[in-house]
Amino acid sequence: MNVPAQDLGAALSEAGRQIGRDIIVPAASVNGRRSAPVQGRYSPEDGIRILLMGTGLGVRLNDSGTLIVQQSPLFDPAAIQVDEVVVTGSRIARRDADTPAPTTVVDRQLMDQSVAVNVADVLRELPSTGVGLGSANAFRNADAGAAFIDLRGLGVNRSLTLINGRRRVSGSSMSSAVDINTIPAAMLDRVEVITGGASAVYGADAVSGVANLITRHVDGVEMSMRAGVSEHGGADNYAASLLAGRDFAQGRGRANIGLSYTRSEALRANERGFGAKRVSSEGNPANTGPNDGIPDRITLVDFNDSYATYEANIYLNNTTYVYGPQGLEPLKAPIFRPGSLGAVVGDTGASFSDWFELRSPSEVYAVRGDINYRVTDAIEAFAELEYADTSGSNIEQFFRADERNIWLNGLGGPIIRIDNPFMPDAVRGLLADAGRDRIAVRKVYREFGEIENIHDRRTMTLVGGLKGRIDDRFDWQVFFQSGRFEDDVRTTNLPIASKFHAAVDVVLDPVSGQPTCRSAAARQEGCVPYDIFSGAAPTQAQRDYFLHTRLQEIENTQQVWGAQFSGPLFELPAGPVAFAAGVERRTESLKTKDDPLSLNNEVTFVGLATPRPPVDADFAVNEAYLELRAPLVANLTGVQALDLEGALRVSDYDTIGRTTAWNTALVYAPVQDLRFRVSASRSVRAPNLMELFGPQTVTLTNFVDPCDLTRINETANRLANCRALGIPEGFRDTFAATRFTTGGNPDLKAETADSVTAGVVVRPRFAQGLRITADYYDIKIKDAVTTFAATTIADRCVDSASIDNVFCSLISFGSDYNLDAILGANVNVASLTTKGIDFSVAYARELPAGWSADVRLLGNYLIKKERSADPSDPRSLVIDDGGYGDPRLRLSLSTRVRRGPITAGMVNTFISESDVNPQATQEAYDIPKVEERIYTRVFAAYDLSERYRISFGVDNLFDTKPPFTAFTYLGGGGGQSNAARYDNVGRFYSLGVTARF
């Protein structure tokens, strides 16, 4: 039955007990387990839960604020489990309605309704979360196969992920983020997300908020299986889990164990119509300047790289020649069609769609167990074990040697001499006519196989400790936690530079008359000659000689020692002043080891296999914290409740020194139906080990220089600034590779974030089951650690009012005026700011004929999100709000109906229209807007009996495709970074079965 909280509370309360008053419940015995006396200021939910112990009924509070009393969901009326009411963002027990910051709970039912098998895809639908990292945007990412949470879109490093209220070891060599793929969705009871600064409570990384993953406990055994398939093929997923729990030692102890397997398949771009052809935004040759009404950039479809072909090609006499099945012929020139969608007719050019993945594959084996044992009536021992074996991969592309690959000898591709017997006569004749005896040959070596990064990860966490009560009043806890993450990375099909050059530099053996390697030293080492013109796959002997699988090893460790003491300090007229205080010591380490051939630059390729010098770094931090919550006034006319709370944390790092974080909050309820909440906080984030000590690496990148003839008129200041930099009139970018340096910076200091939230919670008594919230947030981060993309640095340099700006200081030019090098290492920039409004509406009620329904709307309206590199220069401002990575409005509307064994519902997700570039002029792009999108998911479940349930779901019901732009389709970002916000799988079906015993 569903009964409003206050009505049920009044019905069950004894004479004189009123909502909000102090209550004392004496010790009781349920199923042979003695509960300790409970004292404190409890909500009706808490009191009802205690009163119902042993009755076979359970109680929970749904999103609308209605208390639901129901038969035990574990199908065992005799086994009632009473959970603590603890919500993320505080170490003092409270309900989500009492928190002073916006809080969202994703419960078991919501996860069951999703077709996803990992929690990352579930959380990405929340309007308060950014794209983060997951299977949909792992392209060229060192963390392929992992998944990280990104709250507010401020970066995964600023979102703290907890499991059962405790930190976990990082699942990445590049950041401090926790890989949530190691805890499959089937093992979770709920996820509590609080957005806003929480560093004072939980320490560093909680700048944009906290996600607390709460694991499940069951009585008996639960088995489940789920399979999902895409209507168009690819991206299928599978999951199976076994959960079990029971009491032992006459109820003094309890043990739980969970086993889980999940697998998500890859989705290739060429498996979708919108991914079969590359789309790109290129400079418009017809552009005559700003405000001419002509788009500065046009969208090209079926865009291939004319300089990178699957057949061998050479550049001679200002012409690219290709040697293929038709012999030697000039490569067809690109065709641009200003004012309409264009095409590049480089029909032999390499296409992104041949290797690009819209979703990368992953596989997870996970086991989790916990055990609690009451040593005495006041002391309980506990332990937890988590282990996950995960694998994942991502495709880089095929190996290529061209002018973008400044490789070994500084030339573009291997040098083939005219006496090479494999050189076709047509090519030899062309060289002879030009008076050349050798030439660099450019080629995409599809015959080698794809360059694939394969990750085999192992993550283990052990937790042990004691907890108890003193004088039936104070709770205490001491614990130790140890975590280890290991990642063995293999990168396949990389040529060994010196051996590959030797294998393609071929002459005829004067004795045998057969092709042989020119170098005598190489022949002594077993060199096997190779014909790069034939297009034939290497033989096994050739593969063994010059192809290599690069090996890397990564290890993260974490140890945490902690002690906490909490309870009521003293009584005020409105209730007890509650506190939580504790100390922690945390140590973390990072070790990386790269392949010796990589460190010797023997397998370097276009930055995709960049050598990573070894890292062996660690830090330690000692912390102390205090949290207080004081009910100032209660049950007065005009002041139903007035609570003040605050927290303080002092941290001492051996890397950056001492930091202090704090927060304070006020909750005011003038009447029972209305609650106002406001909070202010100072959060601190210490740079992680890779940000501090990561090796600086140089990759090669390409983009059309903003001073190129086709781009120089895109903005008002660009022409003058390019001339001030010495770029001559008529300059054309030769598309030479630009060295882009990224990596750690040991001089980084801590980030500081000032956050303010103010909101209202409405639960009108005249509309039982209705709950409305609205919260304004404003987060300002100073000295934010970040990097800027090479294109951003180049564009901002020449688009400012003058070249006297921070971005131009990061650029150097070559003698040919091309961009030679850009510095993009980690820096403390001036600021990163975001502000907006979170809102929610939840409503639950009974319907005729035994039906019940509940509706929940979650929304976020983004007011501002921007970065500034120099506080004294407003021209360094980078605006993100309103862009396709940070759309202005996001909504999630879920509707669910129930009757007896039947549950059915629908979830609609809305993403508002956005800009390709919020700071671009109207004529910057021919397609400047990204269309809004609505995605619909339907689901249904049927309880075959008390033990068996079958469920079915359809995601993206209307098979909605990504919005068409060069930045959300293949090549510009379809499946990459922020474009992963849009579904690229299409209609998807899921079927699941659950059995409980």
DSSP 658-725: EEEEEEEEEEEEEETTEEEEEEEEEEEE---HHHHHPPPEEEEE----TTSTTTTTSSTTHHHHHHHT
What is the reported pTM?
A: 0.83
- Residues 478, 487 contacting (CB under 8 angstroms): no
Centre a 10 Å sphere on the Cβ of residue 651 and count the other Cβ atoms it contains: 23
Provide the pLDDT for residue 96: 46
Reference 197, options 687, 682, 676, 651; nearest CA is 682
Residues 6+ apart with CB under 8 A from 250: 32
Alpha helices by DSSP H, listed for 695-826, are 718-724, 790-799
The string of pLDDT tens digits covering residues 68-88 is 444 333 333 233 333 334 445
Tell me the pairing of strands 297-301 and 770-786: unpaired
Centre a 10 Å sphere on the Cβ of residue 846 and count the other Cβ atoms it contains: 12
Q: Measured between alpha carbons, how far is 406 from 596 in angstroms, rounded to an integer?
A: 20
Provide the pLDDT for residue 68: 41
Q: Measured between alpha carbons, how far is 166 from 734 in angstroms, rounded to an integer?
A: 53
Question: Which stretches of the chain drop beneath a pLDDT of 70?
Answer: 1-89, 93-99, 132-142, 197, 303-307, 332-348, 402-412, 604-610, 735, 870-873, 875, 970-979
Matching residue, tokens 């004012």 = 339
Q: Measured between alpha carbons, how far is 109 from 191 in angstroms, rounded to an integer?
A: 11
- Residues 18, 6 contacting (CB under 8 angstroms): no
The CA distances from residue 325 to 286, 424, 698, in Å, are 35, 12, 37
Give me the percent of the chain exceeding a pLDDT of 70: 83
Provide the pLDDT for residue 25: 36
Q: Measured between alpha carbons, how far is 264 from 827 in angstroms, rounded to an integer?
A: 36
Residues 6+ apart with CB under 8 A from 504: 414, 416, 420, 529, 530, 532
Q: Measured between alpha carbons, how far is 713 from 698 in angstroms, rounded to an integer?
A: 30
Q: Measured between alpha carbons, how far is 146 from 485 in angstroms, rounded to an integer?
A: 12
Phi, psi of 173 (to 5 degrees): -85, -10
Q: Measured between alpha carbons, how far is 233 from 169 in angstroms, rounded to an integer?
A: 36
Q: Measured between alpha carbons, how far is 139 from 170 in angstroms, rounded to an integer?
A: 20
- Residues 373, 423 contacting (CB under 8 angstroms): no
240: enclosing H helix or E strand: strand 237-248
Q: What DSSP character marks residue 136?
A: G
Look up residue 443 and give its two tokens.
């080629």
| Helices 5-12, 44-51: crossing angle, 10 deg rounding | 50
- Residues 621, 586 contacting (CB under 8 angstroms): yes
